[in-house]
Amino acid sequence: MGLTRSSVLPVVLLLACGLALALAGRSLEQPARRSTLAGGAATPRGWSHALRVKGGKWCGLRDFPPRPDGYGVSRLYCPSNNYDHNWMWRVVKAAGTGAISSGDEVWLYINNPMLKYCKSGTVVECGYQQSEANKFVVEKESGSGAINFPTDGVVLKAAGNYCKLVGSKHSQTLRCGSTAKSDATVFQLPAASFVATQLINSLSLSACGANFFYDGPGMAYVGCGTPRGPGFTINNTVALGTPGSPVVTAGANITFKAYDDLYSYQVSVWKVDKSGKVWYDVNNTRGTSQWFVLERLTGAATGGELTSMTKVALKSASNGKYCGIPAADINGDLRCDLAGPLASLPAGYKFTYMVLA
């Protein structure tokens, strides 16, 4: 992704000391509020979207993060055949609250750049502060009324002109220059990431996390005990394995991640290594080893929405093993190494799923 975690670490630590920020237990990607989130009246707060061409390729930012320091703009393009939960888009209602309807003015917002807003100039680029950006108009592909972003196709307009993807692969751009709606590219914005949650271990009675700013040898491993130092992050964003409705479903693939709230192109993601240890992978939101499932400990193990304070088991989707910490070492690394069954898991392999947003 260009700039590395180690290249910004000294600056991060200096800022942390100078401002006396207590990083332990701190949510790195701040919860969104309902008034700034898209998806119609039924979309809960805290959700962000993936952006894709309807039925087609997925969108992100080209030449990202901008060099040398992450500030600057990057153009929107849609080259990928594969969903990547790293990109966290929002459609922000420009005036008022409640559902976004066809024809409303909105801001196009993405969490990843240092500055979050998008602007239509010669092409659409993102990485502006709001005062430098411009409003878009969002319309349903057909029909009127409130927009349900996970299912409805939508088009964008800027300064009265519809926006269309031009070109292909890495030279592709989004240009807003047509007066005909039929020329516009139709997009979808399925729900993809939810801020913020904790996973609290039933043996240690502590939330699980890892050192976001780890810069030593080897990997930063996830743990559920104490002690924990500056940068130990326990507030996690949940990413859906399959974007769609804004629901964390028991038994469906998810992963846990955290973003730096200043250098927000920096992300760490939970993954499982060959030995079953859960570790923080830096700036790599791809790969099957990142996927987990949460199963209820009482009632139906899978299916339906997981609500806050539900007692759950954590299972690696890649190796099929339940994850936890041993009774002999509650400060040890989180491992996915027990076959089950679910009803016989020890306390170190049981958790409480808590919603903070």
pLDDT tier at 219, thresholds 50, 70, 90? very high
CATH number of 51-188: 2.80.10.50
Tell whether omega for the bond before 190 is within 30 degrees of 0, i.e. cis: no
pLDDT tier at 4, thresholds 50, 70, 90? low
Give 119-169 pLDDT, tens digit per residue: 999 999 999 999 999 999 999 999 999 999 999 999 999 999 999 999 999
Note the maximum CA span of the chain. 68
The Cα 324–Cα 69 span in angstroms is: 38
| The pLDDT of residue 227 is above 80 | no
Q: Which fold has domain 191-355?
A: Trefoil (Acidic Fibroblast Growth Factor, subunit A) (2.80.10)
Q: Are 200 and 351 in contact (CB under 8 A)?
A: yes
| The one-letter amino acid at 168 | S
pLDDT tier at 98, thresholds 50, 70, 90? confident
Q: Are 323 and 348 in contact (CB under 8 A)?
A: no
Using a pLDDT cut of 70, give the percent of the chain over it.
Answer: 87
pLDDT tier at 216, thresholds 50, 70, 90? confident
pLDDT tier at 309, thresholds 50, 70, 90? very high
Pick the more confident residue, 248 or 96: 248
Rg (CA), the chain: 21
**CATH 2.80.10.50 domain extents, the chain:** 51-188, 191-355
187: three-class secondary structure by DSSP: strand
Give 268-281 pLDDT, tens digit per residue: 999 999 999 999 99
Nearest to residue 193, comparing CAs of 134, 117, 301, 267? 267
pLDDT for 336 equals: 99
Q: Are 24 and 229 in contact (CB under 8 A)?
A: yes
pLDDT for 154 equals: 98
- What residues does 278 pair with on adjacent strands? 272
pLDDT for 44 equals: 62
Q: Are 195 and 227 in contact (CB under 8 A)?
A: no
Give 162-191 pLDDT, tens digit per residue: 999 999 999 999 999 999 999 999 999 999
Mean pLDDT of 199-226: 95
Strands (E), 179-291: 187-188, 191-201, 210-211, 220-221, 232-233, 236-244, 254-259, 267-272, 278-282
Mean confidence (pLDDT) of the chain: 89
